[in-house]
Each structure stands twice: as C-alpha cells, then as structure tokens.
Structure 1
Amino acid sequence: MASIRKEISIRSSAEEVWEVIGDFGAGPSRMAPGFVVDTRVDGDSRVVTFADGTVARERFVSIDHETRRIVYAVVGESMQPDHDNASMQVVADGEAQCRLVWVHDVLPDDLATPIGTAMTHGLAVIQKTLGPTHGS
C-alpha cells in the first residue's frame, strides 16, 4: 500500500484552520475553492466535485476535535481503488501559525503518483485560501 504524506505551514491559528478542515460537509469547498467546485452531503458521505471533472464519494470515518484530525475514505466508483483512506490533521505551531498534515493511503500503489500530484495542487490552494487573509 502506498502512503502519501504531505505537510504545509499555514499562517493562521490552528483553531481558525480547524474550523474549516473539520467541517466534513462543506470543508472541501471552503478550503480549496476553484480546486473543488462543489461539495454536497449524501448520508454518511460527501460528494466532492473537482475542477478537472473528477467526482469523489468520501465516506466519513472519524473526527477528533481535541487532536484536530478528520478521517475519510474514498468509496464508490470515482477512482475505483482497492483501498483509499485519508486523514487531515491541523497541528498548532504557535499562536498564529499551524501545520496541515494530509496522509493518504491507497492501493494499488500506482495511484500514488496521480493522488500525490493532486494533493500537492490542493495544498497550494488550501495554503493560499486559509493563509493570512483568511477571515478578513
């Protein structure tokens, strides 16, 4: 199984960033506008539509507000992986700075490259969206 781990620094408090990241229903559209063009809740899942036309059904797995960590699994026929599980965690790094750690575990291994590329692009949008002008 491929495990892709990406991390960025965001110049905003962990609390402000978690308020968006921890919003399972609308978080993707809020954290990455333009990269994500639509998010809607359907039962215990969210359906996320990306700018490139990809549609992913992401099932809610768990949320831990104390550690600021959310876990979801990509299910259904969007990318047809054998296994696809991801977590996002916001870690405080001072009062006005935090780190976002995104881990994605996927099978088959050959999905790691396209998923890693998409994560890198998404994180650049998230960093810009939730950075210093967030909430202004």
Structure 2
Amino acid sequence: MASITQEILIESSAEKVWEVLGDFDTGPSRMAPGFVVDTRIEADCRVVTFADGTVVRERRVTVDHDSRRIVYSVVGGNVEHDNAVMQVVADGAERCRLVWTRDVLPDDLAAPMTTAMTQGMTVIKRTLDG
C-alpha cells in the first residue's frame, strides 16, 4: 500500500483553518477555490469536482473537532482502498500546520495522488494564509 504525507505551515490560527477544513460538506470548495470547482452532497458521500474535470466520491469516516482531524475515503472508480486524514495542528497563536496523509491501493495511484495533493496544498496555503 502506498502512503503519502504532506505538510504545510499556514499563517492563520488553527481555529480559523479548522472552520474551513472541518466542514465536510463544503470544505474542499472553500479551502481550494479554483482547484476544486464544485462540492455537493449525495447520500452519504460528497462529490468533489476538480478544475481538470476529475470527479470523485468521498465518504466521510470521521470529523473530530477536538483534535481538528477529518478522515475520509475516495470510493468507487479504480480505487481499491483509500484512507485520507487531514489534521490541523496549532503552531502558535496565528500559525498552524496542516498535515495530510493518504494510504491508497493500488500503488500506481500514488504518483497522480501525490501530484494532486501537492497542487491542492499550494492552493490551500494561498487561500487560508493570514
């Protein structure tokens, strides 16, 4: 199983970043506008549409407000297994770290997912900084 971890510093409080990230229903569109062009809820999943036309269904696993941690899984398509965790960790009063970890099968999905996560993190930082 491929495991991917990325981390960025965001110049904003953990509370402010979590307000966006912890919103399962609309968080992707709010944290990565332009990179994500639509987020909508269908049954027990959110459907996320990316600027490149990719559409994924993500099932909510948990949203833990106390630890500022959200867990979700891409379901369907050519994904055998996916577990994604995003966590906001305070690093002072007006700075935090966003840690995004993903475990995925099949392994050959790691390269495109890493690219997408890197692009997404760039947009997230730009959107949520200060």
The TM-score, its normalising length taken from structure 2, stands at 0.98
Cα distance in 1 for partners of 2:63, 2:29 equals 18
Code of the aligned partner of 2:68: R
Cα shift at 1:55 = 0.2
Aligned to 2:94: 96
Aligned to 2:6: 6
Cα distance in 1 for partners of 2:44, 2:75 equals 11
Cα shift at 1:81 = 1.2
Aligned to 1:118: 116
Cα distance in 2 for partners of 1:95, 1:32 equals 23
In structure 2, list runs of 5 or more residues that go unmatched: none
Pick aligned residue for 2:126 from 99, 123, 128:
128
The TM-score, its normalising length taken from structure 1, stands at 0.94
Secondary structure of the equivalent of 2:52? coil
Code of the aligned partner of 2:22: G
Cα shift at 1:76 = 1.8
Cα distance in 2 for partners of 1:26, 1:122 equals 15
Pick aligned residue for 2:106 from 96, 101, 108:
108
The root-mean-square deviation of aligned C-alpha atoms, in Å, is 0.6
Matched, 1:21 2:15: no
Cα shift at 1:10 = 0.1
Aligned to 2:74: 74
Secondary structure of the equivalent of 2:29? helix
Alignment of 1:51-70 (within 5 A): 51-70=51-70
Cα distance in 1 for partners of 2:121, 2:67 equals 20
Aligned to 1:34: 34
Code of the aligned partner of 1:14: A
The runs of at least 4 aligned residues of structure 1 exceeding 2 Å deviation read: none
Code of the aligned partner of 1:119: M
Q: Summarize deviations over 1:7-66 as a string: whole Å, max 9, x none.
A: 000000000000000000000000000000000011221000000000000000001111
Cα distance in 2 for partners of 1:122, 1:10 equals 14
In structure 1, list runs of 5 or more residues that go unmatched: none
Code of the aligned partner of 1:81: V
Code of the aligned partner of 2:20: V
